[in-house]
């Protein structure tokens, strides 16, 4: 198994190189570079523009720019931002805690709600509760996540005035203020996954419930609920853990939209700012960071799966 994961991790390296290369090509295929505005600046002479281009490294041929960037990455250096003129790793590093502040509660909330909803509707299958939960799931899946966020804002900030409509904190910056600011963005970020996950749990619980060993347990005269609690759940939850691990990177990227709606100073905001100013080093940093997250969590998902379900053998 160790060799399997060693292989997975080694296999991820060409994948990441591929991703960085494709990202780089994409970025540089964008019309208008970081210097586009300067060329329309009345204070700029051709000579100064050449200086700026040289200082940003934009005067080099693209393959050279990529090779340089890649060489620096290997040494852990993500370069300097074209607009902030400080290390990209520092800029991204500042934003990560902000995004995590949003993402971690959202993941926890999603798991809690999904477990509750999924198990409830599996245990009381075809009951009114099941139908309500199923209905809500369908609604959750059909609603555009961003619109859910807007509706929360409209209702709780504008109409009722209970919650602040944007930003990370306000007033005295106390814990309570912070929590108030968290409520709507976290709900918005969670809604997309809760519905999906709870359907998933319901289905896998029922699937396991149909398997032989559960039937045996039932035949032994154990009550239905006990059957579900003791035998079904554990087996049903194994794949769910994997699903969660795989979906975690989506929370981080999904935060892009949520952060936009709630003016949250996280990675999503940073991405839009960098996009607007064609800040290539920051954009590359963000793309690579996101790709690493996806790959890492995929590997983690496999690991967890292997750990939870010893029947699986890895070559």
Partner 1 sequence: MPGSTRASSIADAPRLPALEDTARIQPAPSVGYARLIWRQFIAHRPAVIGAIILTTFVLLAVFVPLLSPYSPSEPDLFNQLAPPSLQHPLGTDPLGRDVLTRLLYGARISLTVGVLSSLIAAAIGVILGAVAGYYGGWVDNALMRLVDLLLAFPAIFLLLILFATIQRSLTIVILFLGLFGWLYLARVVRGEILSLRERDFIFAAHALGASNWQLITRHLVPNVMGAIIVTFTLDVALNMLAEGTLSFLGFGVPDSTPSWGNMLNGAASYYTRAPLLTIAPGLAITLAVLAVNFIGDGLRDALDPHVRHV
Partner 2 sequence: MNRSALVSFSATLAAAALVAGCAAPASLPTAPAPAAGPATTGGKSIIIAKVEEPETLNPYITQLVTSIDVLSGVMEGLMDFDTNQVLRPQLAESYSISDDGLTYTFKLRRGVKWHDGQPFGAADVVATWKIIMNPDFAAFSQLGWDKIAEIETPDDHTVVMKTSERYAPFLSYVATTFISPKHLIDKGVDAFKQEFGRRPIGTGPYKFTRWETGQFIELEKFADYWAGAPKLDKVIIKIVPDDNTLMVQLTTGEVQLTDAVSAARIEEARRLPNSVVLTRNGLEWTHMDLKNIGFLMDKRVRQALDYATPKQQIIDRLLGGLATISIGDQAPGTPYFNPNIKPRPYDLEAAARLLEEAGFKKSAQGILEKDGQPFVIEHWIVAGDQLNKQIQQVIAASWRQLGIDVQEREEDIKTIWGPNGYQFTQAMTAALYSWTNANDPDDMFYWHSSQIPPDPTGTGGNLPAYFNQYEQQAKIDELTAAGAAEVNPEKRKQIYWQIQELLFEETPVIFMYWPQRIYVAPRNLTGFNPNTFNFLLWDVEKWDFEN
- Footprint on this chain of partner 2 (rule: CB under 8 A): 30-46, 48-49, 51-52, 54-56, 80-81, 83-86, 91, 94-95, 98, 153, 157-158, 164-173, 177, 260-265, 269, 272-273, 276-278
Closest CB to partner 2 among residues 33, 196: 33
State which of residues 81, 99, 188, 204 lies at the interface with partner 1 (CB under 8 A): 204
Asked if 158 is part of the footprint of partner 1 (rule: CB under 8 A), the reply reads yes
**Length of the chain, please?**
315
As a whole number of angstroms, the distance between CA 150 and CA 158 comes to 10
CB 38, CB 44: distance < 8 Å: yes
Place of tokens 């029922």: 206
Nearest to 137 by CA among 195, 200, 198, 203: 195
x/- mask, partner 1, residues 254-273, rule CB under 8 A, reads x-xx--xx---------xx-
Q: Give ∠ CA 203-205-211 in degrees, rounded to 5.
A: 105
State which of residues 35, 250, 265, 303 lies at the interface with partner 1 (CB under 8 A): 250
State which of residues 163, 203, 300, 306 lies at the interface with partner 1 (CB under 8 A): 203
CB 230, CB 222: distance < 8 Å: yes
Binding residues for partner 1, rule CB under 8 A, total 67
Residue 52 interacts, among partner 2, partner 1, none and using kind-specific CB cut-offs from 5 to 8 Å, with partner 2
Q: Which two tokens stand for residue 74?
A: 């290997």
x/- mask, partner 1, residues 71-110, rule CB under 8 A, reads ----------------------------------------
Q: DSSP string of 91-104?
A: HHHHHHHHHHHHHH
Query: Angle formed by the axes of helices 280-308 and 267-277, to 10°?
Result: 150
Asked if 141 is part of the footprint of partner 1 (rule: CB under 8 A), the reply reads yes
Residue 257 interacts, among partner 1, partner 2, none and using kind-specific CB cut-offs from 5 to 8 Å, with partner 1
């Amino acid at each position: 198994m160790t060799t399997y994961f060693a292989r997975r991790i080694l296999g991820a390296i060409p994948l990441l190189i591929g991703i960085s290369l494709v990202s780089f090509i994409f970025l540089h295929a964008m019309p208008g570079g970081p210097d586009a505005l300067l060329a329309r600046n009345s204070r700029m002479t051709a000579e100064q523009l050449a200086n700026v281009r040289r200082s940003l490294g934009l005067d080099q041929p693209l393959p050279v720019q990529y090779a340089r960037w890649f060489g620096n990455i290997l040494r852990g250096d993500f370069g300097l931002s074209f607009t902030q003129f400080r290390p990209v790793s520092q800029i991204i590093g500042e934003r990560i805690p902000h995004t995590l502040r949003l993402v971690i509660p959202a993941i926890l909330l999603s798991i809690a709600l999904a477990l509750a909803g999924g198990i409830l509707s599996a245990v009381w299958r075809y009951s009114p509760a099941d139908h309500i939960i199923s209905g809500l799931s369908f609604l959750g899946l059909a609603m555009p996540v961003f619109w859910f966020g807007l509706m929360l804002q409209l209702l709780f900030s504008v109409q009722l005035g209970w919650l602040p409509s944007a930003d990370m904190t306000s007033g005295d910056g106390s814990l309570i203020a912070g929590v108030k600011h968290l409520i709507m963005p976290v709900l918005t970020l969670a809604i997309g996954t809760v519905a999906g996950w709870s359907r998933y749990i319901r289905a896998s619980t029922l699937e396991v419930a149909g398997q032989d060993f559960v039937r045996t347990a039932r035949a032994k005269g154990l009550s239905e609920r006990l059957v579900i609690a003791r035998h079904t759940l554990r087996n049903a939850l194994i794949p769910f853990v994997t699903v969660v691990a795989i979906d975690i990177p989506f929370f981080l990227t999904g935060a892009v939209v949520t952060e936009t709606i709630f003016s949250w100073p996280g990675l999503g905001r940073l991405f839009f700012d960098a996009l607007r100013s064609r800040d290539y080093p920051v954009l590359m940093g963000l793309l690579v960071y996101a790709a690493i997250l996806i790959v890492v969590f995929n590997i983690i998902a496999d690991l967890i799966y292997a750990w939870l379900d010893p029947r699986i053998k890895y070559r």
